[in-house]
Amino acid sequence: MSDVVAGYDYAQPTEAGAVQALGALVGAAAAEPLWDLAARSLAVQRPVLSTDDLCRVADQLMQLGDLARIAGRSLRVRCITYDALSGSAEQ
């Protein structure tokens, strides 16, 4: 499976990208522990690889304050976009 949707030139969201985006809002030092907390609370193994698991962590992030909620909501949109365009949701 390619990790870039052809035509749309849209790359599969990654944990590293998600943590970086979260860090842009809450600070790099806070982002990693927040992300880790969200993943651990779901017993999701790191690194988080699949868009399904990224979505689950995004939902968990949305419980952790205003800025984390916004980062989580954005990540969710980006993951579902990838799934919708790549067809991976049906695979």
Partner 1 sequence: MTPQELAELRRTDRLRDLARLGLEGDEDRPELRQAVQDLAAEWQVPVALATVMLDTAQLFAAASWLPPWVTEVGGMPVEWTFCRAMLATREGFAVSDLTRDPRFAGNPLVRLDGVRSYAGAPLISHRGHLVGTLCVLDVQVRDFDDATVAALAQRADDVMIGIERAASQVHQGAGR
Residue 90 binds partner 1 (CB under 8 A): no
Among 1, 2, 7, 29, binds partner 1 (CB under 8 A): 7
Rg (CA), the chain: 13
- Write down the residue that tokens 């499976």 correspond to: 1
Among 21, 30, 37, 42, binds partner 1 (CB under 8 A): 21
Q: How far is CA 37 from CA 10, 12, 60, in A?
A: 28, 23, 9
Residue 4 binds partner 1 (CB under 8 A): no
Residue 66 binds partner 1 (CB under 8 A): yes
